[in-house]
Structure 1
């Protein structure tokens, strides 16, 4: 991780009123989650499951895929670094950018050679592993799901790593998870903590073919997801906070138009 990226709210002793370190809804009602968390504090006295079996089974059932097609991680960043160390090792990566810096940081940490590309098609021609954030962080760019699915199908020798962490913040059609897990050349990244506005919990997961999940499970650290986080994630599956997506999109459009009227180029 590069110094300066991410949330440095710890430096300011409660002085921060609006936190722009992550593009999530700033004002969720987390009161029920906090009460639930308080009731589970005894969990800190014991080890969590060595792998978050209960949460993985619950998520698989909720999504409608097999248990062997999902792996829970300590946030999406944990998944990114695990993939870089194991799937991307020894292969050339292409990052569709500008985008979230952790794909490049993870590749650098793993000794993976990478280049940036302006579009997914070019990256797929010139790379063995393609990293795509869709919707993109931070500019919100969305690649059409049908076009992306067609690209994945047309390049079976290329591994596509697609970060869908912000998919709940747009109305665009999403890649069908149940279809994608049937392909050996795509891994989808998902962020429960973005979906539920709790980035401090650090719970993410990836969905992929049974073969890819089996390979990645062999290389993940035991007890990586703590007991409170796993338990709270199960609670949030049933009790997700309400995200006012239409209001946020309308406000984004209003700001884009206002800034454009001031003479700025707006993405």
Structure 2
């Protein structure tokens, strides 16, 4: 007879918790975890394979601990005058966030986010021994600068998470909110821009606020816009001193040589990789418009997904779509479901299946 978790000397604060996870099912149309459903273009894939082949020649050696070429690539991609010593990277943006919490969170400290938001924030916080406090948003999931600053000022957390645009709601966040929160905060302020590439082009990233703000971090990922979810590459930009703090907590050689080679090659093709973004945004807007026509209430989204309200029975609707080969996400918000904007064919399949229900 095998043991259960209860038989093990697990940390008390982990008892009763469930791991992060979304349903994984081999359905024809999977639009549940905000992946970029477009495959990597062939010419880019070929270059990535060449880079990996070259890295394999030295695979008996440890990788570049400082991932120098990759940091140069990210600095070049982000622009805004950023230098490689302002860049950090890890295995997905979750590990990037974990490094920040390991350095600035921990036992006796507090992290704060405005719920509903990314469900990994409390899990990562708890795993480092810190306490997570959830603030609130308006009825449409938006945040005003005054309200956000007041909530942070009251809690005085050591780490603040600002998801911009927000997951799972897609809600934009104004730079005025970020500035106001930073002004009243004594801790690290993380702006999680995992979905930033899907925001309107004329809008300004929080990267424009980094100058002179040594406690501000802007986190990004290659999973979404770069269609690189399976490669696990996240990164951030911050003051060089903050990057030094992350060196204290990272595992030695945490980024494999193969990961570094693949990501560096993909970044060389940034314009080609990002050409998919316009198509995804057009599908997102088409989904929102059609959902409205079907009587649902889509929320404003600057991401590659749409949260929509007006769902009488989310579980039944989710199951009805599942039975028709369409996988979307029930994120636990009352009378809502969330769908990723996929290809034109996938979006059509979802909308037709929903209409048939």
Deviation at residue 135 of structure 1 after TM alignment: 0.9
Asked if structure 2 preserves the Cα contact closer than 8 Å seen for 1:80 and 1:102, the reply is no
Establish whether residue 170 from structure 1 lines up as the match of residue 188 from structure 2.
Answer: no
* Alignment root-mean-square deviation, CA: 2.5
Unaligned runs of 5+ in 1: none
Question: Which residue of 1 is the match for residue 48 of structure 2?
Answer: 37
Measure the CA separation in 1 of the matches of 2:40 and 2:73: 23
Partner residue in 2 for 1:237: 267
Partners of 2:109 and 2:89 lie apart in 1 by 24
For residues 72-129 of structure 1, the C-alpha deviation after alignment (integer angstroms, 9 at most, x for no partner) is 1111010111112221223222111212111110011112111211243344222412
- The TM-score normalised by the length of structure 2 is 0.66
Alignment of 1:37-186 (within 5 A): 37-39=48-50, 40-41=52-53, 43-44=55-56, 45-46=59-60, 47-62=62-77, 63=79, 64-89=81-106, 90-119=108-137, 120-125=148-153, 126-128=155-157, 129-145=159-175, 147-171=176-200, 173-177=203-207, 179-186=209-216
Whether the 8 Å CA contact 1:149–1:175 is kept in 2: the answer is: no
Q: Which whole-Å CA distance do the structure 2 matches of 1:266 and 1:248 have between them?
A: 16
More displaced stretch, 177-186 vs 127-136: 177-186
Which consecutive residues of structure 2, in runs of 5 or more, have no partner in the other structure?
1-16, 138-147, 300-357
Separation (CA, whole Å) in 2 of partners of 1:195 and 1:255: 18
Paired with 1:228 and 1:16, the residues of 2 have a C-alpha distance of: 30
Query: What does residue 17 of structure 1 align with?
Result: 28
Aligned residues: 261
Distance 1:257 1:61 in 2: 36
Give the corresponding residue for 2:143. Answer: none
| CA apart distance, 1:196 | 0.7
The separation in 2 between residues aligned to 1:182 and 1:6, in whole angstroms, is 39
Structure label with greater radius of gyration: 2
Q: TM-score, normalised by structure 1?
A: 0.86
Give distance in 2, aligned partners of 1:137 and 1:201.
21
| Separation (CA, whole Å) in 2 of partners of 1:140 and 1:6 | 18
Please identify, of 239-248 and 105-114, the stretch whose mean Cα deviation from structure 2 is larger. 239-248
Task: Provide the C-alpha distance between the structure 1 equivalents of 2:132 and 2:216, rounded to a whole number of angstroms.
Answer: 18
